[in-house]
Amino acid sequence: MSDHVTTEDYAAVDSLLKFGITERTRKSYLADIRRFKAWAEEKEPELFGSESGKHGFGFDWELFMHPDDNDRPLAASLFEVYAATYKKKSNVNTPISKSMLGNVRSALIWLANENGYTFPSSFGVITSRILKAAGKKYAKALESGLARKKARQHLPYNMYYKICKKLWESDDPSTIRLHAWVVMLWNAVCRPANMASLSLSSIDVFEDAMQISLWVTKTGQQAQQSDPYHLYFNPIGDADGDDRYDTRYTCVGLALARYLMTWTDRRQGNKLFFGEGTSETLSTAFISFLKKNQEELGLSDEAILYLGIYSIRKGAGTYCSSGSLGGPSMVSIGERMQHNTGTQKYYLKYERANDQFVGRVVAGFPLNDCAFDTLPPEFKNVPSNLNEHLHLAFGTQTFKKASKPLLRRLLANIAYHSEWLQTTLKKTDPIWTNHIFRTKDLLTTLNGMVSLGAGGLQPTGIPPHIGIIRELRREAEAAKERGVSLITTIRKLFEDHSVSTGSATPTFILTTLRDELAAMEKRLAIPSSSSSSSASSSSSALDMCFTWRGRRWNQLPKDYRLPRANLQQAFGIWLLGIPSQNIRPLGKITFCSHEFSLKTEFARFRKWKRVIGDYLHNDLLMTKWESDNLPEVWTGELVAKAWGLIQEHIDVGDKTDTGKNRIVGKIRVEYAYDLLKGPPGSGKPIITPPAKRRRNCPAE
């Protein structure tokens, strides 16, 4: 076999093994090993010989793996001493963190494997114990204030908006590129390394979303996660009523289109953000931008220290989970952020379908508004020479490598917001030199061909409550229109027929209102009551409402006399009124003495109030009714049922004074008032005569 395997074959194997770790991880390992070697050469110089082997560090691996007096690898003992004694040059009082020690251990294991050696299993067991102890020591240092955790903090949405607005207003091509980088990172909720490796061929559109495929991520380096991530164009602007935020500054469609149309003649390669060291270059540019505009952005010195390019991804994830209790689930947000969810990914795999919901939330669509399902701009009628315009607008290289539906939607986005672009961008902005803006009347023509959701687009990622909110808004708007219509009618009524002149008679007013309510019922398709005895009908209720007498609205007609009614009849009048005479239910009227022009009738009513209202209706009926509350609207059937429950319990005696059988229902109210009076202990309710009251005050 050795005759056939050549040196070039082994070189190919080495080249393949380089893909085992990323270039960034390799650089980090080499830096950790240099730091460890500089310390170890002072402690154990005999461990290092000539700078031979892979990467030229000169480790004597045989000696490094040799057991010490305690039968442990020398490397493990040396690592323990390193963890206990190493001091940072920047702060000698700060202990080394567990994560830093873990990186050093991983670097040593990697370097040994690169040189053909493998640490014994005891090395991992021993070093795990020291790592745990170092983690607790570092936590105590954080607690006492000796150490400060320098992890990047999340970027709040309001600061992200300020940054995007400031970047949008710049006419520097490098700043335009940085703006697209920041907006793409926020909407994709991914790491900078993933965005730097994103190619144009991995971007496409599906329905109302732009899809990107990240084939290699930190938690999926073997193309295991091939499901696309959904990014949404937010064309709402400030139409949601919030003047603080105009979503066009953070719209991924506008930022990406402006970048591609500005950098048409600079494209190199297939990457969206082409160039060497893109992630590091743009990350450095982002930090420089924050420091340069620190005062204008309102950033403190401490915030500058803890904000970085990784803050964008952390801020987007925090924003998704903190906007509402009805927002995306934790699993779907974690999937979007490429978090390693362990075994959960096998049991909660269908949470991946929520990625569209996450995409809409992170794009800034209002989660508690029906505008959440707003569709992006699209061409209604695609012009025949559209490909020619796309070619000239985005350049030859981008036109060849990018998806044509993607470029078409980006151009539609530019055409839809053309007026806003002209008011917010500077006259020196490089986008004005693009073919789309230089060709006379072309942008105006394209603008007329574009509308939101054209081409039959269907909204995706919409939660159920958005439909409920839309229906509530429609009902609210319809109720407002009905209220305005009714108020306009009443206002016109009193303007045309002034009450002060006497031309607006009560009959005229009631008739007009009744007609208006009937028309409103017809528009709303409200069924009328089928029971003739019900007092809930709008027209009868309106007729039995008020009458104009003197200088006030009265509840009873002038010189009204109570009927000569027995207990059963009075009980019905008390609950139903007399619709044929426009008399409201007496139990619903708050009576004052001015309602009765005849004092004798007012005295009679007080007896009705005591017998029918207080005793029969409140005291007796409440104890016999099946439920806790009496009906709010009475009908003839309900009144008959109520009378059947209480008539046997009315204690007025079985015989009259002449010895005849007494029929309870036929006793007149005034006579029942006298029969029901009794002293305490007689078994009869004590109905005392009402005390004298001043005029114009309630009877109760």
Q: Which of residues 168 and 530 earns the better pLDDT score?
A: 168
| Residue 151 belongs to a domain | no
Average pLDDT over residues 646-657: 74
Q: Are 58 and 50 in contact (CB under 8 A)?
A: yes
User: What's the pLDDT band for 644 if we cut at 50, 70, 90?
Assistant: confident
Q: How many domains does the chain have?
A: 4
pLDDT band at 680 (very low <50, low <70, confident <90, very high): low
The Cα 173–Cα 275 span in angstroms is: 15
Q: Show Cβ contacts of residue 52 under 8 Å, excluding neighbours closer than 6 positions.
A: 58
Closest CA to 329 of 213, 218, 463, 208: 463
State the pLDDT at residue 2: 52
Same domain assignment for residues 195 and 343:
yes
pLDDT, position 409: 94
Smallest CA-to-CA distance from 131 within 92, 91, 96, 107 is with: 96
Which pair of structure tokens corresponds to residue 418? 């053309």
DSSP annotation string for 42-78: HH-GGGB-SS-SGGG--B-HHHHHSB-TTSSBHHHHH
Q: Tell me, what's the pLDDT at 170? A: 92
| Residue 499 pLDDT greater than 50, yes or no | no
The token pair that represents 14 in the structure block: 């080495």
Q: Per-residue pLDDT averaged across 321-346, rounded?
A: 75
Bridge partners (DSSP) listed for residue 451: 378
Same domain, 105 and 222: no
Last residue of a domain, one of 144, 172, 203: 144
CA separation for the pair 251, 245 (Å, rounded): 12
C-alpha separations of 99 from 7, 32, 89, 139 in Å: 39, 12, 18, 12
Q: How far, in Å, CA of 526 to CA of 521, rounded?
A: 5
515 and 597 co-located in one domain:
no
Task: Tell me which residue of 439, 437, 450 sits closest to 382, measured CA to CA.
Answer: 450
The predicted model gives 636-655 an average pLDDT of 80
Reduce the DSSP state of residue 450 to 3 states and report it. Answer: strand
Of the pLDDT bands very low, low, confident and very high (cuts 50, 70, 90), residue 186 is: very high
How many CB atoms sit inside 10 A of residue 250's CB? 25
- For residue 222, is pLDDT > 60? no
> Is 577 within the bounds of a domain?
yes
What whole-number percentage of the chain has pLDDT above 70?
77
Of the candidates 246, 255, 259, the residue with the CA atom closest to the CA atom of residue 162: 246
Say yes or no: 169 and 205 in one domain: yes
pLDDT at 699: 41
* Strand 547-549, strand 552-554: pairing: antiparallel
The verdict on 243 and 99 lying in the same domain is: no
Backbone φ and ψ for 424, nearest 5 degrees, come out as -105, -25
* Judgement on whether residues 518 and 571 belong to the same structural domain of the protein: no
Same domain, 311 and 245: yes
* Domain of residue 485, residue span: 465-527
The answer to whether residue 456 is domain-embedded is no
Nearest alpha-carbon partner for 678 in 687, 691, 668: 687
φ/ψ of 303, rounded to 5, equals -65, -35
pLDDT value of residue 127 = 85
Task: Determine contact, residues 682/606, Cβ cutoff 8 Å.
Answer: no
- CA dist 152 and 150 (Å) reads 6
Residue 689 falls inside a structural domain: no
Query: Is residue 681 a part of any domain in this protein?
Result: no
CA distance 190 to 312: 9
* Mean pLDDT of all residues in 345-362: 78
Statement to judge: residues 100 and 169 lie in one domain:
no
Residue 248 pLDDT > 90: yes
Contact 582, 573 (CB under 8 A): no
Contact (Cβ atoms closer than 8 angstroms) between residue 356 and residue 192? no
Residues 129 and 40 in one domain: yes
What's the pLDDT tens digit per position in 32-85? 888 888 888 888 777 776 656 676 677 777 777 777 666 677 888 888 888 888
CA–CA distances in Å: residue 571 to residues 252, 650, 667: 72, 13, 12
Under 8 Å between Cβ of 689 and 680: no
Token pair, residue 204, equals 């496409």
Cα separation, 599 vs 250, whole angstroms: 77
CA distance 12 to 466: 56
pLDDT surpasses 70 at 255: yes
β-strand pairing of 229-231 with 209-212: antiparallel
Q: Is the dihedral of CA 150, 152, 156, 162 positive or negative?
A: positive
The DSSP output letter for 118 is -
Would you tell me how many other CB atoms lie within 10 Å of the CB of residue 200? Answer: 21
> Rounded CA gap, 599 and 610, in Å?
17
> What confidence category does residue 287 fall into, taking pLDDT thresholds of 50, 70 and 90?
very high
Q: Are residues 312 and 360 located together in one domain of the fold?
A: yes
The whole-model pTM stands at 0.66
Question: Average pLDDT, stretch 395-424?
Answer: 92
Residue 98 lies in a domain: yes
Collapsing DSSP states into helix, strand and coil, what is residue 373?
helix
Q: How far apart are CA 675 and CA 655, in angstroms?
A: 12
Q: Region 299-312: what's the mean pLDDT?
A: 87
The b/e string for 382-413 (b: 16+ C-beta within 10 A; e otherwise) is eeeebeebbbbbbbebbbebbbeebbbbbbbb
d(C-alpha 335, C-alpha 358), whole Å:
10
Choose the weakest-confidence range: 385-399, 408-422, 658-672.
658-672
Angle at 434 between CA 430 and CA 437, to 5 degrees: 105
| 164 shares its domain with 134 | no
Which pLDDT value is given to residue 128?
86
Cα separation, 181 vs 174, in Å, equals 11
pLDDT over threshold 70, residue 506: no
CATH number of 204's domain: 1.10.443.10
Task: Quote the pLDDT of residue 431.
Answer: 93
Instruction: Give the residue, 681 or 153, on which the prediction is more confident.
Output: 153
pLDDT of amino acid 504: 56
Q: How far apart are CA 558 and CA 548, in angstroms?
A: 9
pLDDT band at 92 (very low <50, low <70, confident <90, very high): low
pLDDT band at 693 (very low <50, low <70, confident <90, very high): very low
Residue 518 forms part of a structural domain: yes
Q: 172 and 140 share a domain?
A: no
**pLDDT for 408:** 94
**Residue 397, in any domain of the structure:** no
Give the C-alpha separation, 520 to 538, whole Å: 11
